[in-house]
Structure 1
Amino acid sequence: MIERIETGQRMSKIVRHNGVAYLCGQVGEGATVAEQTRTCLARIEGLLEKAGSSPGRILQAIIWLRDMADFAEMNAVWDAWVPEDQAPARACGEARLARDDLKVEIIVTAACD
């Protein structure tokens, strides 16, 4: 069974199937990549909770940065957030994001109940 949570015309924020939660891309708020990463990860935590999951159950993360020069700043926030010894498979690349003020977007897939 496929379960869609917080579904709109364009997308669902969460899709659950066979014990896996797929989250739509999340962005954050703030002037710096660190601020945006923190608020983005907080949104991810909220969605993971709704999906019956948690940061320690993330299987894969895909991170898009507007500028790879922000890689270290984003990683400082990410590294403090990921539970010790539970880092997911991860990719990070540079991309043009949906709005000019966005500096980071994160997409996660996680095991769920």
Structure 2
Amino acid sequence: MIERQDTNQRMSKIVKHNGTVYLCGQVGEGDTVTDQTHDCLSRIDALLEKAGSSRERLLQVVIWLADMADFEEMNAVWDQWVPEGCAPARACGEARLARPALRVEMIVTAAC
């Protein structure tokens, strides 16, 4: 069975299937990569909780940065957020994001 939450014509914020949670891409608000990363991770926490999961159950995270020069700044926030021993498989690349002000977007897969 596939369960979709917060669905509209374009996408679902959460999709659950066979014990796995898939989140739509999450971005954050703020003027700096640090601010946007904090906000993005807070949104991820809220969606994981709503889906019955948590950051301790992360499987994979794909991170897109508008500029790879922001890699270390984003990682400084990321490293404090990920629980010890629970680091997911992860990829990080550079991409043009949906709006020019956006600096970071994360796509999360986790276990229920």
TM-score range, shorter chain: over 0.9
Letter in 2 for 1:41: L
Name the CA distance, whole Å, in 2 between partners of 1:63 and 1:56. Answer: 18
For 2:97, the equivalent position in structure 1 comes to 97
Counterparts in 2 of 1:13-92, with a 5 A limit?
13-92=13-92
SS at 2:63 equivalent: strand
Q: % of aligned pairs identical?
A: 75
Alignment size in residue pairs: 112
Amino acid at match of 1:61: V
CA displacement, residues 16-61 of structure 1 (integer Å, 9 cap, x when unaligned): 0000000000000000001000000000000000110000101000
1:100 offset after TM fit, Å? 0.2
Deviation of 1:66 (Å): 0.2
Letter paired with 1:102? L
State the alpha-carbon separation in 2 of the partners of residues 20 and 38 from structure 1. 24
- TM norm structure 2: 0.99
Output the aligned Cα RMSD: 0.3
- 1:2 paired residue number: 2
Opposite residue 95 of structure 1, the aligned amino acid is A
Q: Secondary structure at the match of 2:5?
A: strand
**TM-score, normalised relative to structure 1:** 0.99
Gaps in structure 1 of 5+ consecutive residues: none
Structure 1 distance, partners of 2:50, 2:3, is 12
Runs of 4+ in 1 over 2 A off after TM superposition: none
d(CA) in 2 for partners of 1:99, 1:107: 17
How far apart in 1 are the matches of 2:12 and 2:22?
9
Once the two structures are TM-superposed, the CA of residue 6 in structure 1 deviates from its matched residue by 0.4
